[in-house]
Structure 1
Amino acid sequence: MAEILFPALFLLLILGLPVAFAMAISVFAAIMLASSYQPLVVVKEMFSGLDSFPLLAVPFFILASEIMTGGAVTLAILRLAQSLVGHLRGGLGHANVVSSAMFAGISGSALADAAGPGTMMIRMMEKGGYDRPYASALTIASAVVGPIIPPSITMIIYAMQDQNVSVGSLFMAGILPGLVITVMVILANARVSRQRNYASGAPMPPFAEIARAALFALPALILIVLIVGGIRFGVFTPTEASVIAVFYALFVGMFVYRSLRLRDLPAIVLRAALTSGAVLLILGAARAFAWVLIIESVPQYLAQTIIAWDLAPIVFLLAVNLLLLVFGLFMDPLPGVMILVPILAPISFALGIDPNHFAIIVIVNLTLGLTTPPVGSLIFVVSSTVGLKPSTLIREMPPFFIALAVALLLITFLPFLSAWLPKASGF
């Protein structure tokens, strides 16, 4: 069946079919043309992939993100970021990156980062004298931290595929790598700002103003501590944390920032439901796709082949980086995790690689695919919001591709960045 599965998938992706439908149709084609299984087994496997209690955390985190992305919350984060770094050369660009890192602790999604504070920062940067294509490219690069800094939808899905990690351990493992990516993008922005003479956005504010901005943003930022701390100390499970995040977001939006009204809730719930439906459809199709690979013994064959090569762990990680970067050109992170982790994670474990370290490498690689053509979702989301052609944004991306590549190499060669916090936290 594999000889039909992969050509069908790539053909459908080239034709522009959504990933979920491309995977489901390719599985149906493989089943009907090259097996004795009934097509109904595809539907069964899709539902089996969604029949999971931990998976309930995904729609609840999406709903919490929709509630928290109201105007007041986003403005509070942008105000704090600008007060911290806005006075530096390229300060509005730095504020873009810092606000994305802060917002990542609320949304757990790169696309939400780009569509929320990212879009607002593009407008602010353009008014501050930055070229719109450059501001848009910076937003694309800074949004990469969305699935890296906890909470993260991708990490929840990963933990369901690899029994050697947990959602809590991955949440802790993503903090330092997320900060590394943030710093590298800031350095790239600083270099370009010097070359193009992008001035600072404002004079350095007094400490009292920074303190007021921090206090105003504190209710939003507490959500990160609430989720990670609650999971770490066993107060609640990740699924329960997602529900608590929803109620906390409602409380903050309605009673702290007072930017959320009851009449806003139906539209918010509808947006969250549509997003959740799209995500879950992808996960179901990916489960059926992975099932075909398993019954065809593809993971076992690849595992035996790679182990027989007797690669050193670091050589294996470099090979995985190349594989995942290429895979990310054509596939979004969630189906990538569903398909590749059952194949690659057992091999890395057999080679003695820390499971949390390997997980972060996989997640970072697949997330970088959102910034690269031809499928890069971040490129198309940002280009549609700013009214520019994707090719115009891609021409501004090389400095950030270099920065993200350096961050990836640091994460790969310095395993303590991903492994230290989970161990220090008792996971």
Structure 2
Amino acid sequence: MAEILFPALFILLALGLPVAFAMAIAVFVALMLGSSYPNLVVVKEMFAGLDSFPLLAVPFFILASEIMTGGAVTHAILRLAQSLVGHMRGGLGHANVVSSAMFAGISGSALADAAGPGTMMIRMMEKGGYDRAYAGGLTIASSVVGPIIPPSITMIIYAMQDQEVSVGSLFMAGVLPGVLITGFVLLANGYVSRQRNYASGSPMPPLAEIARIALYAVPALLLILLIVGGIRFGIFTPTEASVIAVFYALAIGMFVYRSLRLRDLPGIVLRAALTSGAVLLILGAARAFAWVLIIEGIPQFLAETIIGWDLSPIVFLLAVNLLLIVFGLFMDPLPGVMILVPILAPISFALGIDPNHFAIVVIVNLTLGLTTPPVGSLIFVVSSTVGMKPSTLIREMPPFFLALAVALLLITFVPSLSTWLPNVSGF
């Protein structure tokens, strides 16, 4: 079946089908032409992939993100970011990057970062004299931290595929790598801003004004502490944390920022339902795709082959980086996690690589695939936002590709970036 499955998948992706439909149809074709299994197996495996209590966290975190994205919360984060870094050379660009990092602690999604505060920052940067294509390229790069800084939907899915890690440990493991990536994107923006003479956004406000803006943003930023702290101290599970996040978002939206009205809730729930449906459809299709691979014995064959090469942990990590970079060109992170982690994670564990470290390497690699053609989802989200061709945005990306590549190498070869916080926090 594998000799039919992969060509069918690549052909369907080349034709422009969404990833979920491409995977599901490829499995149907492989079963019809290369096996005696009934087609009903595809439906069964798709439902089996969604029949999981921890997976309930995904739609609830998406709903919490939709609630928190509303007006005042996003503006509070943008104002805080601009007050902290807006006075520097390339200040509006720095504010774009910092606001994405802050918003990552609310959304858990790169696409939500780009479509939410990213869209607003592109408009602000253009008014501030920045080239619109550059503002779009910077937004693509800064949104990468969405699935890396907790809470993260990708981390929840990863923890379901690898029993050596937990959602809580991955949440803690992603903090320092997320900060590191943010720092390198800031450096890249600073370099380009000096080259193009992009001025600062505004004078640095008085410290009292910064404190007032920060205090106004605190309720929004406390969400990450509520989630990670509650999981760490055993107050609630990750799934329960997602539900609590929804009620917390409702409370601060209605009673603290007072930007959320009851009449807004049907639209918010509808958007969250559509996003959740798309995500869960991808997960179900990826489960059916992975089932075919298992039936064909491909994971076992690859594992035995790689172990037989007797690679050192460093060489193995380099090989994994190359594999995931190529894989990320054609596949989104969620199906990538479901297909590759059951194959690669046991090998990394056998080689003595810390499970949290390996998880972050995989998640960062696959997330970077959102910024690369031909399937980079962030490119197309921002392209539709700024009304420009994807190729125009991609031409602005080389400085950010370099910054992200250096950050990836540091994350790969400095395990303590991913392991220190989980260890000291007791995960």
Give the TM-score category using the shorter length: over 0.9
Aligned to 1:7: 7
Q: Secondary structure at the match of 2:49?
A: helix
Aligned to 1:421: 421
Whole-Å Cα distance in 1 between the matches of residues 182 and 424 of structure 2? 23
User: Does residue 106 of structure 1 match 2:100?
Assistant: no
TM-superposed CA distance for 1:425, in Å, is: 1.1
Whole-Å Cα distance in 2 between the matches of residues 15 and 203 of structure 1? 50
TM-score (norm 2): 1.00
Q: For 1:178-189, what aligned pairs fall within 5 Å after superposition?
A: 178-189=178-189
**AA at the equivalent of 2:117:** P
Aligned to 1:278: 278
Structure 1 segments unaligned to the other structure (5+ residues)? none
Whole-Å Cα distance in 1 between the matches of residues 36 and 133 of structure 2? 53
How many pairs does the alignment contain?
427
Output the aligned Cα RMSD: 0.5
Whole-Å Cα distance in 2 between the matches of residues 125 and 36 of structure 1? 58
TM-superposed CA distance for 1:222, in Å, is: 0.5
Q: For 1:195-214, what aligned pairs fall within 5 Å after superposition?
A: 195-214=195-214
Q: CA offsets, 1:270-305, max 9 Å, x none?
A: 000000000000000000000110111100000000
TM-superposed CA distance for 1:152, in Å, is: 0.2
Q: CA offsets, 1:355-412, max 9 Å, x none?
A: 0000000000000000000000000000101111111100000000000000000000
Q: CA offsets, 1:202-232, max 9 Å, x none?
A: 1111100100110010010010100011011
User: Does residue 372 of structure 1 match 2:372?
Assistant: yes
Whole-Å Cα distance in 1 between the matches of residues 279 and 102 of structure 2? 23
Aligned to 1:174: 174
**AA at the equivalent of 1:387:** G
Q: CA offsets, 1:171-202, max 9 Å, x none?
A: 00000000000000000000001101111111
Aligned to 2:261: 261
Aligned to 1:39: 39
Q: Secondary structure at the match of 1:181?
A: helix
Aligned to 1:347: 347
Q: Secondary structure at the match of 2:409?
A: helix
TM-superposed CA distance for 1:15, in Å, is: 0.5
Q: For 1:93-132, what aligned pairs fall within 5 Å after superposition?
A: 93-132=93-132
Aligned to 1:48: 48
Q: CA offsets, 1:125-179, max 9 Å, x none?
A: 1111111000110000000000000000000000000000000000000000000
**AA at the equivalent of 2:107:** S
Aligned to 1:65: 65
Whole-Å Cα distance in 2 between the matches of residues 305 and 95 of structure 1? 47
Whole-Å Cα distance in 1 between the matches of residues 165 and 190 of structure 2? 36
Whole-Å Cα distance in 1 between the matches of residues 407 and 142 of structure 2? 12
User: Does residue 388 of structure 1 match 2:388?
Assistant: yes
TM-superposed CA distance for 1:33, in Å, is: 1.1
Whole-Å Cα distance in 2 between the matches of residues 13 and 26 of structure 1? 10
Whole-Å Cα distance in 1 between the matches of residues 134 and 271 of structure 2? 29
**AA at the equivalent of 1:44:** K
Aligned to 1:142: 142
TM-superposed CA distance for 1:31, in Å, is: 1.0
Q: Secondary structure at the match of 1:67?
A: helix
Whole-Å Cα distance in 1 between the matches of residues 41 and 391 of structure 2? 42
Whole-Å Cα distance in 2 between the matches of residues 137 and 34 of structure 1? 43
Aligned to 2:318: 318
**AA at the equivalent of 2:74:** T
Whole-Å Cα distance in 2 between the matches of residues 23 and 129 of structure 1? 43
Aligned to 1:223: 223
Aligned to 1:331: 331
Whole-Å Cα distance in 2 between the matches of residues 177 and 378 of structure 1? 20
TM-superposed CA distance for 1:35, in Å, is: 1.1
Whole-Å Cα distance in 1 between the matches of residues 421 and 403 of structure 2? 24
TM-superposed CA distance for 1:334, in Å, is: 0.3
**AA at the equivalent of 1:267:** G
**AA at the equivalent of 1:312:** S
TM-superposed CA distance for 1:34, in Å, is: 1.1
Aligned to 1:250: 250
**AA at the equivalent of 1:71:** G
Q: CA offsets, 1:50-79, max 9 Å, x none?
A: 000000000000000000001100000000
Q: Secondary structure at the match of 1:258?
A: coil
Whole-Å Cα distance in 2 between the matches of residues 93 and 17 of structure 1? 34
Q: Percent identity?
A: 88
Whole-Å Cα distance in 2 between the matches of residues 329 and 319 of structure 1? 16
Q: Secondary structure at the match of 1:89?
A: coil
Whole-Å Cα distance in 2 between the matches of residues 370 and 403 of structure 1? 15
Whole-Å Cα distance in 2 between the matches of residues 293 and 105 of structure 1? 35
Whole-Å Cα distance in 1 between the matches of residues 157 and 24 of structure 2? 19
Whole-Å Cα distance in 1 between the matches of residues 65 and 349 of structure 2? 33
User: Does residue 79 of structure 1 match 2:79?
Assistant: yes
Whole-Å Cα distance in 1 between the matches of residues 273 and 417 of structure 2? 35
Whole-Å Cα distance in 1 between the matches of residues 51 and 24 of structure 2? 17
**AA at the equivalent of 1:31:** L
Whole-Å Cα distance in 2 between the matches of residues 135 and 212 of structure 1? 28
Q: Secondary structure at the match of 1:117?
A: helix
Q: CA offsets, 1:94-122, max 9 Å, x none?
A: 00000000000000000000000000001
Whole-Å Cα distance in 2 between the matches of residues 421 and 70 of structure 1? 31
Aligned to 1:191: 191
Whole-Å Cα distance in 1 between the matches of residues 298 and 419 of structure 2? 29
Structure 2 segments unaligned to the other structure (5+ residues)? none
Aligned to 2:288: 288
Structure 1 runs (4+) greater than 2 angstroms displaced: none
Whole-Å Cα distance in 2 between the matches of residues 358 and 218 of structure 1? 32
Whole-Å Cα distance in 1 between the matches of residues 195 and 374 of structure 2? 29
